[in-house]
Amino acid sequence: MAVSEGSCKFGWWFVHVRWSGDLVEQVRFARTPLEGDIPVPLQRYLAGKARDTGSLRSFATEGDSLYAKIYRVVREIPYGSTATYGEIAAMAGTGPRVVGNAMARNPTPLIVPCHRVVGAHGPGGFSPSLEIKQDLLELEKKGLRKTGSGSGP
């Protein structure tokens, strides 16, 4: 299957996506657009019209590596919820710093929703801008208010 690339606007940023079928290879944030569309589930999520991207897979969750295990745990954090680095570490059988390193290297944010992973005493980080993390969390809070439900997708 052919690899596709495209972008979608999110606030002051563009979300660039590279994918093939339902398998997403890369998601990144940039200031300039790419030609082409992104998968419809991501478009709907970023527009606040969908609560998940569950029909899409991330290549990063496949395999037996520790990072893949961490990414699978992070994928289970419900829409509109957060978990701390320490909570994810306990579920994955590792330490919070390892979880932080995995989040910093996450090739498919939004598919593996690392914006839902926060520090015990603050938001934690997000690349390239903490503002994006805050905007994504706010998008999900608004989505919950619309439906009046705090339970996952």
Query: Which are the catalytic amino acids?
Result: 114
Euclidean distance between CA atoms 25 and 106, whole angstroms = 11
Contact 93, 84 (CB under 8 A): no
User: Do residues 71 and 40 make contact, with C-beta atoms less than 8 angstroms apart?
Assistant: no
Residue 89's contacts (CB-CB under 8 Å, 6 or more residues apart) are 95, 96, 98, 99
d(CA 136, CA 61): 21
Both tokens assigned to 105: 């290297």
Reading the block at residue 42, the tokens are 């991501």
| Rounded Cα distance, 125 and 96, in Å | 13
